[in-house]
């Protein structure tokens, strides 16, 4: 019977474990199973881009292992277990070789996002790393040590690319960063703010190549040669790719669950299939794909109650994002593309205060760099909620 059928959560990132913690605040009895294709260690993903600054390897970043999390959550945590199919009709998931089927009362998809892999040619692609989870991070750190890496080429000057640029500079590496657009954080910041971040990082030794795409990575006598599509080359010992992420929707899609940019849910985090929910990087919640921690925590709080029988809509207040570039700190409340309005910008060296307002004068977003980040609280209060 469905009363005692387990709640099954796919994924043990901040969304999966965060939800399990919230659910256990309201329901300590219903059987709870968490299934993950990684090793199930709990960790804070944002720390992956501060590892050299804080001198923490993967083991230092890991908080508890799967067994420890299972005890804490009164749950069973199945690590190294891939879920390949969902049968929404019979409320079954198929794991591993698909010979094993598990029945769920409620199923939650918190399967995260995949990194986008830019199309790159060449014979040295094994030197191109992307760091999107703790296992990737472990591989990356070990490769840096093994190959005696001194020079790193970073692909992408968005959030991940700029954070890694700053972290690697702090770690004493030489860093060259490539982005086809014109300045740092181009999809989040207006140009003067992005240029301030660029200057801050350049003052620490970063070299930027704005405009070109990375075309190829080939072996050199020592390390690799990165070839850009404008013909320039960069000599490096390793390449880190950080060009963005895309919600993992395939599992849901194959099960006939509605997907768009992410797995589509309403404000109750319900997908189009009965008793199946989604949250975190994989989800598109009432039209919003938000690949950050604050929205997934808000979703976990609401869904924890809903799963315990108290149906609760998710509330998204304005949630500015802090970007971990201490060379030039940034706080941004991004403006959705196509929003009507204008940036109003005050600039004082690397301190940029930019407000995005509509014709009626309402504040819809902001970007703050350097000393101007102290204005965050004042502006945050003026922003409209995303989902209230």
Residues that bind ligand FAD (CB under 6 A): 10-16, 35-38, 45-46, 48-49, 82-83, 110-112, 131-133, 160, 163, 248, 251, 280-281, 291-294, 296, 321, 324
- Three-state SS letters, 207-253: EEEECCCEEEEEECCCCEEEEECCCCEEEECEEEECCCEEECCHHHH
Q: Tokens at residue 7, please?
A: 């709640």
Closest to ligand FAD by CB, 79 or 228: 79
Q: How far is the CB of 388 from ligand FAD (least distance, A)?
A: 20
Nearest approach in angstroms of CB 93 to ligand FAD is: 9
Q: How far is the CB of 263 from ligand FAD (least distance, A)?
A: 11
| Nearer to ligand FAD among residue 291 and residue 372 (C-beta) | 291
Q: What angle do CA 303, 81, 302 make, to 5 degrees?
A: 5
Residues 198, 200: Cα–Cα separation, whole Å: 5
Least distance in angstroms from the C-beta of 302 to ligand FAD = 15
Three-state secondary-structure class, residue 382: helix
Which residues does 235 contact at the CB level (< 8 Å), separation at least 6?
Answer: 151, 220, 223, 224, 225, 226
Nearer to ligand FAD, 56 or 218 (CB): 56
| 110 vs 227, beta carbon nearer ligand FAD | 110
Q: Which is nearer to ligand FAD, 31 or 96 (CB)?
A: 96
CB nearer to ligand FAD: give 18 or 194: 18
Q: Nearer Cβ to ligand FAD, position 228 or 283?
A: 283
Cβ proximity of 179 and 186 under 8 Å: yes
Nearest distance from C-beta of residue 24 to ligand FAD, angstroms: 17
The per-residue b/e assignment along 341-361, b for 16 or more CB within 10 angstroms, e otherwise, is bebeeebeebbbbbbbbeeee
What is the DSSP code string of 244-292? Answer: -EEE--HHHHHTT--BSSSEEE-TT-B-SSTTEEE-GGGEEETTB---S
CB of 63: closest distance to ligand FAD in angstroms? 13
Tokens, residue 373:
């980040």
Q: Which residue is nearest to ligand FAD, using beta carbons?
A: 13
Least distance to ligand FAD, CB of residue 92, Å: 14
């Amino acid at each position: 019977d469905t009363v005692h059928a387990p709640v099954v959560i796919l994924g043990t990132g901040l969304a999966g474990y965060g939800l399990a913690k919230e659910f256990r605040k309201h329901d300590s009895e219903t059987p709870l199973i968490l299934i993950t294709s990684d090793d199930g260690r709990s960790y804070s993903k944002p720390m992956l881009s501060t590892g050299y600054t804080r001198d923490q390897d993967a083991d230092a970043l890991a908080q508890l292992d799967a067994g420890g999390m299972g005890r804490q959550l009164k749950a069973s945590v199945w690590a190294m277990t891939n879920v390949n199919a969902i049968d929404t009709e019979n409320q079954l998931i198929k794991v591993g070789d698909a010979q094993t089927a598990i029945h769920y009362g409620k199923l939650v998809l918190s399967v995260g996002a995949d990194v986008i892999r830019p199309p790159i040619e060449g014979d040295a692609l094994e030197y191109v790393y992307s760091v999107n989870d703790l296992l990737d991070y472990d591989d990356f750190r070990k490769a840096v040590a093994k190959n005696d890496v001194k020079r790193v080429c970073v692909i992408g000057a968005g959030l991940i690319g700029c954070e890694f640029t700053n972290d690697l500079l702090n770690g004493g590496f030489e860093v060259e960063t490539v982005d086809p657009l014109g300045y740092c954080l181009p999809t989040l910041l207006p140009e003067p703010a992005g240029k301030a971040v660029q200057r801050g990082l350049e003052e620490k030794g970063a070299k930027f190549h704005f405009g070109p795409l990375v075309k190829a990575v080939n072996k050199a006598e020592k390390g690799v040669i990165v070839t850009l599509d404008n013909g320039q080359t960069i000599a490096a010992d390793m390449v880190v790719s950080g060009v963005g992420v895309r919600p993992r929707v395939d599992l849901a899609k194959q099960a006939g669950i509605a997907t768009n940019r992410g797995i589509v849910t309403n404000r109750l985090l319900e997908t189009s299939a009965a008793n199946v929910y989604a949250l975190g990087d994989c989800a598109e919640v009432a039209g919003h794909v938000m690949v950050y921690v604050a929205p997934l925590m808000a979703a976990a709080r609401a869904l924890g109650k809903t799963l315990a029988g108290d149906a609760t809509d998710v509330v998204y207040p304005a949630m500015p994002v802090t970007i971990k570039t201490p060379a030039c700190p940034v706080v941004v409340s991004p403006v959705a593309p196509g929003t009507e309005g204008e940036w109003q910008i005050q600039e004082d060296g690397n301190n940029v205060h930019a407000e995005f307002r509509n014709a009626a004068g309402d504040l819809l977003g902001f970007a703050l760099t350097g000393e101007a980040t102290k204005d965050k609280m004042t502006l945050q209060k003026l922003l409209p909620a995303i989902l209230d």
